[in-house]
């Protein structure tokens, strides 16, 4: 696994920053949950933005809370080109403090797919095939009607 570029910052334009923005996501967005976190998503036309809520209830030590936030920022930066537009807010739960990096990333990806912000993946790790009705026919002609 490559080490992330320390100069590759998570820009302010990619963050949910103000209380008003968080409130809007919490009140109007969709929510999915996992034992490690809950994910709130307010779909929109804007590029994906991330907000994080990791309270002292998760862990009393700031170093550990910041590790969780850093991990989610890094994963979101990696996924940003594939994510649907809108605002995402992750609310970490106390179980997140004891979880490994792999567990946190797996839970995050699972929630993103469940909410519909990320395409579903096949068991072999590939993207799902396109809907057969939208694929052009190899002959280039229109499909025959079922009645005859």
CATH number of the domain that residue 66 is part of: 3.30.230.10
Structural domain span for residue 51: 15-116
How far is it, in rounded angstroms, from Cα 41 to Cα 86? 7
3-state secondary structure of 109: helix
- Rg for the chain, CA atoms, rounded: 19
Does residue 67 belong to any structural domain of this protein? yes
Count the neighbouring beta carbons within 10 Å of the beta carbon of residue 138: 6
Per residue in 60-111, pLDDT (tens digit) is 999 999 999 999 999 999 999 999 999 999 999 999 999 999 999 999 999 9
Closest CA to 108 of 97, 96, 123, 98: 96
Structural domains in the chain (count): 1
pLDDT higher than 60, residue 148: no
How far is it, in rounded angstroms, from Cα 134 to Cα 127? 16
The first and second tokens of residue 95, run together, are 């179980």
Does residue 48 belong to any structural domain of this protein? yes
Query: What confidence score (pLDDT) does residue 128 get?
Result: 53
Does residue 142 belong to any structural domain of this protein? no
How confident is residue 124, by pLDDT bands cut at 50, 70 and 90?
A: low
The first and second tokens of residue 39, run together, are 């994910």
Closest CA to 38 of 117, 112, 121: 112
Q: State the average pLDDT for the chain.
A: 84
3-state percent breakdown (helix, strand, coil) of the chain, nearest 5: 35, 15, 45
């Amino acid at each position: 696994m490559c080490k992330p570029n320390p100069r590759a910052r998570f820009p302010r334009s990619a963050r949910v920053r103000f209380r008003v923005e968080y409130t809007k996501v919490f009140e109007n967005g969709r929510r999915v949950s996992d034992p490690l976190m809950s994910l709130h998503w307010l779909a929109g036309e804007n590029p994906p933005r991330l907000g994080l809520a990791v309270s002292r209830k998760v862990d009393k030590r700031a170093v550990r809370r910041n590790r969780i936030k850093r991990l989610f920022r890094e994963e979101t930066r990696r996924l940003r080109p594939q994510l649907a537009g809108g605002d995402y807010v992750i609310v970490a739960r106390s179980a997140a403090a004891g979880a490994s990096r792999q567990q946190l990333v797996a839970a995050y990806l699972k929630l993103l797919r469940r909410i519909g912000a990320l395409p579903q993946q096949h068991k072999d790790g590939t993207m799902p095939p396109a809907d057969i009705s939208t694929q052009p026919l190899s002959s280039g002609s229109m499909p025959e009607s079922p009645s005859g």
